[in-house]
Structures are given as C-alpha cells and as structure tokens.
Amino acid sequence: MAQNGFLLVLMQPPANIEEEFNAWYDSEHVPERLAVPGVLTAIRFSSISAATPKYLAMYDLESEAVLDSDAYRRVAGDNSSPWTKRVTGKTRVYRSVGSQIYPGNALTFRSARVTLLRFRGLDASASDSMVSTLRSMFEGRASTLQLRVFACQVGGKVDFIGFVASSVPEAVDVDPRLLGGNARALDLLNTYAPL
C-alpha cells in the first residue's frame, strides 16, 4: 500500500501579530496550499493543553514529492508572498515532512480533539515498536476515531509523530513504561482543537 506524505507545522506567533497571523493563515495560506496539486487536506488546530506551540497545521499530501513540485515551488520559499514572508519571519515555526507509516493513506478530518505526540531522534528501526505501542495505547479507547503515525527523516535519525483524532475531549495520560526505551525521545505531548 502506498504511503501518503505529510507536512505538519507547529507555530507560535508573537501576541502582537496573532490576529494578523490567523487572518493570513485562513485567507491566504490555506487556500494557496490547497490549490497545489497533490495537497489533499489542510486543517488548522489550536492548543488547549499548553501555551506553546499554540497552533498546528496538518497537510496530507499524495506523497512527499508534492513539496518538490513546480506548483508548490511557485508559492513557497523565495516565491512566498510579502505577507507570508512578514508573518512567518516573526513566528517560531517547527516544520516536519515525511510519510504516514500507519495506516498509510488515511486523511485528516475535523474531530473534537487531536492529541499530538512527538518522539525525536530515534533510529529508523524503532518504526514497528512506535506503531505497535501507539496502537496499544490509543486504538482501544472508545473516544479514538483515528490513529496515524508519521515518520520524518532528520539528519540520519527519525522523528516519529503520533496523531490521534478523538470524538470527545478527554485527558490523555501517557504511562512512560508503555513506551519502553522510546520514552526518552518523547518531547511533545499536546492536545489541540480544530479552528
């Protein structure tokens, strides 16, 4: 089965441009990205569990190669609009690009809550254990609508991201013992609501 690509962006704009940041994202950035062939979804979220990073944007892609396409390059990087350059130049941004390793081709949809778990700097060999551990932690919950696991290559290592869509708001309690040796790599656990 082919794996979809993804682009996940975490952002923290300064308070004095937050209103402009949201206007830019909704009126320019999301429509611009959705017009690129191969960008399947673009959904934004706001953190309810932590002060930073406050905003999450999730883009499902037909493949990672979409971000190397001429259509994407026409609206990204040096070709970004002046508004994009101004807003992103003032905003702290974490950007992750890779493949959906589980289940492979599911798409983001609006749900009451999304829980995001990020594990940084692991060996690629941790892939199977990350998927099985996250499945055992979340797929048995009555509120879980969907679990996806993403992998992003970073300097010879892999960042794994668990993305859990839930039907109702609920506290997520992660027992580090269930994560085994991967517990040390967990550096982000936030809950987001759709915008």
pLDDT confidence of residue 9 = 98
Half-sphere exposure of 117 (CA within 13 A, CB side): 25
Cα of first residue to Cα of last residue in the chain, in angstroms, is 31
Selection from 84, 179, 166, 177 nearest residue 129 by Cα: 179
Maximum distance among all Cα pairs of the chain, rounded to whole angstroms: 48
**What is the number of domains present in the chain?**
1
| Residue 142 backbone phi and psi in degrees, to 5 | -60, -30
Q: Are strands 113-122 and 157-166 parallel, antiparallel or unpaired?
A: antiparallel
Selection from 62, 43, 66 nearest residue 165 by Cα: 43
Q: Which residues, at least 6 apart from 84, have a Cβ–Cβ distance to it below 8 Å? A: 24, 28, 29
Selection from 42, 2, 47 nearest residue 26 by Cα: 42
pLDDT confidence of residue 1 = 62
pTM confidence score: 0.94
pLDDT confidence of residue 174 = 80
Write out the chain's pLDDT in tens, 195 residues. Answer: 679 999 999 999 999 999 999 999 999 999 999 999 999 999 999 999 777 899 999 999 999 999 999 999 999 999 999 999 999 999 999 999 999 999 999 999 999 999 999 999 999 999 999 999 999 999 989 999 999 999 999 999 999 999 999 998 777 778 888 888 899 999 999 999 999
Domain limits at 25?
A: 5-194
Q: Which CATH number belongs to the domain containing residue 93 in this structure?
A: 3.30.70.100
Amino acid identity at 131: V
